[in-house]
Chains A and B, each alone.
Chain A
C-alpha cells in the first residue's frame, strides 16, 4: 500500500493532480469492477442451484457443490466420462495446435529477424498482418470452403484420382486443426521475432565458422535466446485455442465437441447458468494450471507475456 501511495504521489508531481486521479480511478475500476468482480461473481454462481427467479434469495437458495459434482460424476455415481473426455480432448488438441504453430512459425520468425532485409522484410510483415485483419469467422469459413464435401481439396483430389468418394474432412477434424493452427499464427510469430531479433547475428556466424551444423546452431545459440518468446507465444496460442468457440462451431465435426461448446450449450440451450458457470470455472482453472505448469517446466515468468 505504501508503494501505491508513493507511486500516486510521483504521478501527481509529474503529471498533475488531474492525471493522477484519472489514472487511479481508471485502473481501480478496471482491476476491481471489470476484472475481479465478474470472476468472483461467476465463482459464486457456480456454487448455486439453478432456481427460478422467484426462489432466488429464499431458503432454497444456498451453496452447493452439485454443479461440480455433476461435472465429475453421473447421477449414478460413475465417472462422467462424456464431459471429462471432452475437456481432456480440448486440452490435448490445443496443445497439439500450439506445437504445430511453434514448429511452423520458428523458421519464419528467424528469417524475419536475421534473413530478410528491406523490402522483403516489410512485405513479410504486411503479409503476416493482413490475414489477421480478416474476421475470425471468415477465416474459419475459408477453411470450410477448402475442406467441404464439394470443396476445393475434395474436387481436386478426386480429379487427380487420389480418392474417389468425397472425404469428410469436417468430421475427421482436419479442417478444425488447420483452421485453429491458422488462426493464431501472428500471436506466435511476433513474440518469437522480438526475442530472436535481440540475438547478435555474429554469434550465429561464429558458431558456423567453428563448424557447427545448422541444427546445432539453432539448438545451442538461437533457441536459448528465443525461449521466452516461444513460451510467451505458446501461452497465448494455447489459451486462445483452448478457449476458442467460433472455429469449433464452424469447422468441428458434429460428434466432437469442444469444451467451450459444452459451456455454450449449458447457457444458451439448457438455460442452466450455474452449471455453465461451474464448467467455465473448471475451464479457467485447468487452462491456467496447465500454463503455469508449462512455465515452471520451461522456467519462464508470467511477466514475459505480451512483450
Chain B
C-alpha cells in the first residue's frame, strides 16, 4: 500500500509541476529586461515591463470595454440561468432531460459557431429594422453581450441547479401554510437561500465573459475587449509586458484564494465547535490575526509594499551596462572581422598566381559533385579557405 502512496504522491507532484511550471516561468520572465520573454540568459532585474503594460493604450481601452460588457452579461445571464434552473426543477423527467440538453448545448457548441450565428442573425434583424435601431443594435457591445449570454447563462444555471438540489421544499410549504403568498415565499425563502449561489454565479459569469475569446472575436466587430486586444498583441510578437500582466492576475488570484481559504477554515472551526479547542482561536491576538478580513488586509498590504518598492527599482544602470557589453562585443567582433579581411587581402596578394585550386574548392562545396575531383579535395588558395569556413568544400562523390 505504501508503494501506491509513494507512486501517487510522485505522480501528483509531476502533475502539478506541469500545471504550474509554465506559469512560474512566465512570471519570472516578467522581471528580465531582455526584449524576449526568457529566463536564460538573464540580463537585468527590472520592473519596467509593468510600466510598459499600463502604457499600452489598446489594452487599457479593451479593459474598459470588457468591464462594460461583463456588467451587461452578468445582469442578464444570472437571472436567465436562475430561470433555467427553476424551470428544470418543475418539469417531468423526460421533458427535463430534453430542456437540459438544449440549455447545456451552448457550452459544447464551438464558440466560433456561436459568434458567427449571433452576428448573422442580428445583422439580418437590424438590416430589416434599419435606421437608428440598426446603429444601436449592430455594434460590438450589444452583439457581444447577446452572443456571450447564450452560453454564459448555462454556467450560471449549473451553479443554481447544484444549490437548488439542497433546497428543502418543505420550507416553502411551511411558509404557504402559515399564510404567506407564493410571491412572499419566493422572495423571503427561496431567494435568500439562493443568495450565495447568486454571488458565485455572478462571479463565474463575469470571469467567463471577461475571458472569452472565440465568440467575442467575431461579435465585437471593430471594437476590442481586453482578451481580443491581448490575443492580437500575442499574435503580432511577444514581449515580457504580457508576463507582467500574468504576474498581476496570478497575484490577484492568490490573494483571493488565500482569503477564501481563511473564510472556509474559520467557518469550519466555528461550525465544528473546535473554536474553543484550537489554541489559535482561544488567544484574542491570534484570533484577530486569523480573521479573513485581517488576512486579506495583510495580503493587500504586502502586495502594495512590494509594488511600491518595485516601482522605485531602477534597472537603467544595469541595462546600460548590458547594452555597453553588447556594443563592446560587437565592436570586438567587427575588429576581428576587419583584421581577418585584411589578412586575407594580404594572403590573396600572395596566392594570386594559382587561383584555380581555390575556386575549385569553393564551388565544389556549393555545387556538389565537382568536375575536377582530383583537385578539389585539398584546396590551397585563399578563397578556398575563406569560403571553406562557410560551406565545407568537401565534394560529395
Cβ contacts under 8 Å, A26 to chain B? 79-80, 82-84
Whether the pair B25, A146 counts as a contact (CB closer than 8 A) is: yes
Q: Are B235 and A152 in contact (CB under 8 A)?
A: no
In the complex, B209 has a CB within 8 A of chain A:
no
Identify which of B4, B127, B211, B238 gathers the most chain A CB atoms within 10 Å of its CB. Answer: B211
B246 contacts A138, C-beta separation under 8 Å:
yes
Q: Which residues of A contact B176 (CB under 8 A)?
A: 14
Inter-chain CA distance A235–B108, complex, in Å, is 8
Closest to B102 in A: A31
Which of B249-257, B311-319, B344-352, B366-374 binds A?
A: B249-257
Contact A236/B107 with A11-B86, A145-B243 known, Cβ cut-off 8 Å: yes
Q: Is B284 an interface position by the 8 A CB rule?
A: no
Question: What's the A-B contact tally at a CB cutoff of 8 Å?
Answer: 279
CB pair A155 B100 closer than 8 Å: no
Q: Evaluate contact between A19 and B183: CB separation under 8 angstroms.
A: yes
**B224 at interface, CB cutoff 8 A:** no
Interface contact A142-B83, CB-CB below 8 Å: no
* Residues of chain B within 8 A of A130, CB atoms compared: 250, 253-254, 257
Note all chain B residues with C-beta closer than 8 A to A305. Answer: 104, 108
Known A38-B118, A111-B8, A283-B113: A146·B22 in contact at CB below 8 Å: yes
Main secondary structure of the interface of B (DSSP, over half): helix
The interface size bin for chain B is 35 or more
Q: Looking at the complex, which one of B29, B41, B182, B214 makes contact with A13 (CB distance below 8 Å)?
A: B182
Instruction: Decide yes or no whether B322 CB sits under 8 A from chain A.
Output: no
Among residues of A, the one whose C-beta sits closest to the C-beta of B100 is A303
Q: Could you list some 21 contacts between A and B, CB below 8 A?
A: A16-B182, A22-B83, A29-B80, A56-B127, A108-B15, A111-B8, A111-B11, A130-B257, A134-B23, A134-B249, A137-B227, A141-B246, A146-B21, A155-B38, A239-B110, A245-B213, A246-B213, A277-B120, A280-B117, A283-B113, A303-B97
Question: Which residues of B are at the interface with A, using a C-beta cutoff of 8 A?
Answer: 4-5, 8, 11-12, 15-16, 18-23, 25-26, 29, 36-41, 79-80, 82-84, 86-87, 90-92, 95, 97, 99-114, 116-118, 120-121, 124, 127, 146, 149-150, 153-154, 158, 169, 172, 176, 181-186, 190, 207, 211, 213-214, 217-218, 227, 230-231, 234-235, 238, 242-243, 245-246, 249-250, 253-254, 257, 261, 264
Interface set of A (CB-CB < 8 Å, partner B): 3-4, 7-8, 10-19, 22-27, 29-31, 34-35, 37-39, 41-42, 45, 56, 104, 107-108, 111, 115-116, 122, 124, 126-131, 133-146, 148, 150-152, 155-156, 159, 182, 185, 214, 235-236, 239-240, 242-246, 249-250, 260, 263-264, 267, 273, 276-277, 280, 283-284, 287, 291, 301-303, 305-306
